[in-house]
């Protein structure tokens, strides 16, 4: 785990992103969020369409980020809580987010990230073909790397986020060895 000097831009962005992720996972009402300006926020994954906080909340964070790849199908899990539960069960000890490098200063911040955890629980989810996949835990590391370009307000609240990463990487690591 990378630890940045306290008060550095990397430390500030790390704390902002970790708190944003907590709000995304645990606060259903975007108007209660402190990390983003709800009525101005939008996000995009891999050049896809822009989505508001409300739209992401309706489909669920994992569905928004993973979409439909070979081993996971957002189209077959319409309940955002159910999609979240799939990965809470499979990644029992969590799926930590780490800001590795910050390339540009505000208001338009570009950074590299790593999301990682261990597959210590059973994975049960629909695949792209609609079949249900059920895998025993392999206790191996699951990690993905990517980039984010983020626009911030003067008060360091998030206005826009563009994520770039390969969603299949996560699922391929969970399936490996099965």
- Taking the C-alpha atoms of residue 161 and residue 45, their distance in angstroms, rounded to an integer, is 8
Mean pLDDT of the chain: 94
Class of domain 9-175: alpha beta
Highest mean pLDDT among 19-23, 31-35, 41-45, 82-86: 41-45
pLDDT at 150: 98
For residue range 73-82, list pLDDT tens digits in order. 999 997 888 9
pLDDT of residue 34 exceeding 80, the answer is yes
Structure-block tokens of residue 148: 């984010």
Model confidence at 27, pLDDT cuts 50, 70, 90, reads confident
pLDDT at 177: 62
Please list the residues that pair with 132 across neighbouring strands. 126
- Taking the C-alpha atoms of residue 30 and residue 54, their distance in angstroms, rounded to an integer, is 7
Whether residue 123 has a cis bond before it, omega within 30° of 0: no
How many angstroms separate the Cα of 56 from the Cα of each of 19, 79, 91, 159?
Answer: 16, 12, 21, 14
Model pTM score: 0.91
Evaluate the CA torsion angle 133, 73, 158, 58 in order and state its sign. Answer: negative
pLDDT at 178: 63
For residue range 85-143, list pLDDT tens digits in order. 999 999 999 999 999 999 999 999 999 999 999 999 999 999 999 999 999 999 999 99
pLDDT at 58: 87
């Amino acid at each position: 785990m990378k630890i940045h000097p306290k008060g550095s831009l990397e430390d500030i962005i790390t704390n902002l992103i970790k708190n944003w992720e907590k709000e995304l996972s645990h606060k259903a009402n975007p108007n209660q969020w402190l990390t983003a300006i709800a009525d101005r926020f939008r996000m995009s994954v891999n050049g896809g369409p822009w989505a508001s906080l409300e739209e992401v909340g309706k489909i669920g964070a994992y569905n928004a980020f993973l979409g439909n790849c070979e081993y996971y199908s957002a189209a077959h899990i319409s309940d955002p809580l159910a999609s979240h539960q799939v990965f809470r069960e499979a990644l029992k000890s969590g799926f930590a987010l780490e800001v590795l490098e910050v390339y540009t200063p505000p208001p338009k911040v570009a950074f590299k990230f790593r999301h990682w955890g261990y597959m210590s629980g059973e994975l049960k989810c629909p695949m792209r073909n609609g079949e249900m996949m059920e895998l025993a835990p392999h206790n191996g590391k699951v990690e993905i790397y990517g980039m984010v370009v983020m626009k911030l307000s003067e008060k360091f609240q998030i206005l826009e986020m563009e994520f770039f990463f390969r969603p299949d990487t996560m699922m391929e690591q969970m399936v490996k060895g099965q």
